[in-house]
Amino acid sequence: MPSPFRKDQLSPEMAQRYGLDRTPWGSAIIVTSVIGAFALVLGWIGFSLASGIKTRVLTWDDSAINHVTIEFEVQRDGALALDCAIRAQDRTHVDSGYALTSIPPGAGTVRVTYALRTLAPAFTVEVLGCAAPGELRVVPPQFPPGVVAPSQPFNE
pLDDT at 25: 75
Looking at the domain assignment, is residue 105 inside a domain?
yes
pLDDT at 36: 93
Looking at the domain assignment, is residue 26 inside a domain?
yes
Q: Please check whether residues 93 and 25 belong to one and the same domain.
A: no
Looking at the domain assignment, is residue 115 inside a domain?
yes
Looking at the domain assignment, is residue 21 inside a domain?
yes
pLDDT at 69: 95
pLDDT at 125: 96
Domain count, the chain: 2
Containing domain of residue 37, as a range? 7-50
* Percent of the chain residues topping a pLDDT of 70: 85
Q: What one-character DSSP code corresponds to residue 79? A: T
State yes or no: pLDDT of 142 exceeds 80: yes
Distances from the Cα of 73 to the Cα of 28, 33, 56, 84, 151, angstroms: 47, 39, 5, 11, 23
Looking at the domain assignment, is residue 119 inside a domain?
yes
Looking at the domain assignment, is residue 152 inside a domain?
no
Confidence of residue 50 (pLDDT cuts 50, 70, 90): low
**What CATH number should be reported for the domain holding residue 97?**
2.60.40
State yes or no: pLDDT of 15 exceeds 90: no
Pairing assessment for the beta strands 95-103 and 82-89 based on DSSP bridges: antiparallel
pLDDT at 45: 75
The CA R_g of the chain, rounded to the nearest whole Å, is: 27
Q: Does residue 151 sit in helix, strand or coil?
A: coil
Q: Please check whether residues 38 and 65 belong to one and the same domain.
A: no
Q: Please check whether residues 96 and 58 belong to one and the same domain.
A: yes
Dist. CA 41–CA 47, nearest whole Å: 10
Q: Please check whether residues 120 and 74 belong to one and the same domain.
A: yes
pLDDT tens track for 72-103: 999 987 788 999 999 999 999 999 999 999 99
